[in-house]
Amino acid sequence: MRSTRRCSRSGCAADAVATLTYVYSDSTAVLGPLATYAEPHSYDLCGAHAERLTAPRGWEVVRLAVDDHGPVGPSQDDLLALVDAVREAARPRPQHGPVGDAPGAPATGTQGRRGHLRVLGPAGTGHREP
């Protein structure tokens, strides 16, 4: 059984269909498709509350299109950005030893940095790999 997220508005028990995020530095409210994961600083809204959303005076509301045809796979640009990020993470980094090591000498007692990628399960399953 698939669990669905509910609207964040008080007293509303409808299923969420959109996610609202505030960008305080730009005085902007961004309303877009339901996020893959519930985040602590975003709000999930049902269709009725998303449609009636207003922002404080002086703020801009950016409404991102919600695709009614189901989830869309990553674009070519997304895939190329991911490939570049993986290549960058795999590239050997220069090791720096303690103060006093000669340039070009092998570093002593240092460890390389490990990258982090988040694995997403199939859309709507709420499955997340550790």
The 3 state secondary structure assigned to 13-77 is: CCECCEEEEEEHHHCEEEEEECCCCCCCCEEEECHHHHHCCCCCCCCEEEECCCCCCCCCCCCHH
Report whether pLDDT(58) > 90: yes
Tokens for 113, please give them.
């940095």
Cα 82 to chain center, whole Å?
14
What pLDDT, in 10s, does the model give residues 21-43? 999 898 999 999 998 888 888 99
pLDDT at 66: 63
Task: Summarize the confidence of residues 91-96 as an average pLDDT.
Answer: 73
The answer to whether residues 34 and 28 touch, using CB atoms and an 8 Å cutoff, is no
Q: 53 pLDDT exceeds 70?
A: yes
* Of residues 50 and 82, more confidently modeled: 50
**pTM, full prediction:** 0.50
With bands split at pLDDT 50, 70 and 90, how would you rate the model's confidence at 118? low
Are the CB atoms for 18 and 44 separated by under 8 Å? yes
pLDDT class of 124 with cuts at 50, 70, 90: low
Distance CA(115)–CA(93), nearest Å, equals 12
